[in-house]
């Protein structure tokens, strides 16, 4: 990602991500590294578009579609987080198979500070990584974690210290893609099958957030 205002997930950026991810479905891509560069991963959804009733459902639908494409990607997906990954940005990372951070990483779900809840998959995917209790704590306090804190609770999988996560991730991707595409796809498919179908829960999460946004507008 390379977009203004901290890779803010505007409708235009989400549309571009969807376009790229859909185009990659026709290729045998063994590994996909998602990065925002060396300074920020993504500060999350555009609050003006998210809090406006005329665009909120469209934003949530696009974010859901983006994360669903990442989660169902046949190859291995890696989120390389340098700097901030907040709200929808952190949810985008949660849709990936691996999350890599370093000493600059700051990860959190600050939606509670603007009177809403996550709507891009955090309430569904986060507990699978860090458990229900820690998920409640992070979502309802909005606390932002450092890279080392995130590593200590398994929110990130690898900590690269002073090395840029994107550099480390590219080298890791080279190791993974030594296996052929069928091997990668088969292993990922089998491991993912161990999780229950999340589609109903993800839809419920979006519906609850839309209800909260409507109540705030009244």
- Would you state the structure tokens that stand for residue 60, as one six-digit string? 């949530």
Place of tokens 């934003």: 59
Cα–Cα distance for residue pair 86/138, rounded to 1 Å: 12
Sheet architecture: strand order including 76-81 = 31-35, 76-81, 98-101, 158-159
Active site members? 45, 88, 91, 111
C-beta of residue 89 within 8 angstroms of C-beta of residue 9: yes
User: Which of 68-71's residues contact partners 24+ apart within 8 Å by CB, and which partners?
Assistant: 68/95, 68/202, 69/18, 69/21, 69/22, 69/25, 70/21, 70/32, 70/34, 70/95, 70/96, 71/95
CB atoms within 10 A of CB 205: 22
Closest by alpha carbon to 122, among 89, 147, 145?
Answer: 89
Secondary structure letter of residue 114 according to DSSP: G
- Would you state the structure tokens that stand for residue 154, as one six-digit string? 């398994």
């Amino acid at each position: 990602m390379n977009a203004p205002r901290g890779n803010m997930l505007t409708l235009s950026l989400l549309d571009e991500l969807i376009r790229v991810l859909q185009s990659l479905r026709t290729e045998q891509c063994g590994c996909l590294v998602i990065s925002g560069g060396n300074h920020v991963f993504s500060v999350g959804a555009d609050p003006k578009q998210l809090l406006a009733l005329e665009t909120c459902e469209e934003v949530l639908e696009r974010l859901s579609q983006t994360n669903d494409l990442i989660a169902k990607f046949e190859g291995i997906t890696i989120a390389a987080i340098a700097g901030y990954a907040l709200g929808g940005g952190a949810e985008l990372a949660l849709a990936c198979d691996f999350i890599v951070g370093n000493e600059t990483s700051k990860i959190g779900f600050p939606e509670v500070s603007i009177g809403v809840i996550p709507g891009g998959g955090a309430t569904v995917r986060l507990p699978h990584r860090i458990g229900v209790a820690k998920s409640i704590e992070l979502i309802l306090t909005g606390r932002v974690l450092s890279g080392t804190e995130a590593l200590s609770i398994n929110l990130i999988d690898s900590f690269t210290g002073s090395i840029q996560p994107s550099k480390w991730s590219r080298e890791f991707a080279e190791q993974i893609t030594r296996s052929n595409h069928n091997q990668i796809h088969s292993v990922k498919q089998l491991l993912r099958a161990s999780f229950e179908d999340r589609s109903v829960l993800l839809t419920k999460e979006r519906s609850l957030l839309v209800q909260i946004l409507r109540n705030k507008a009244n």
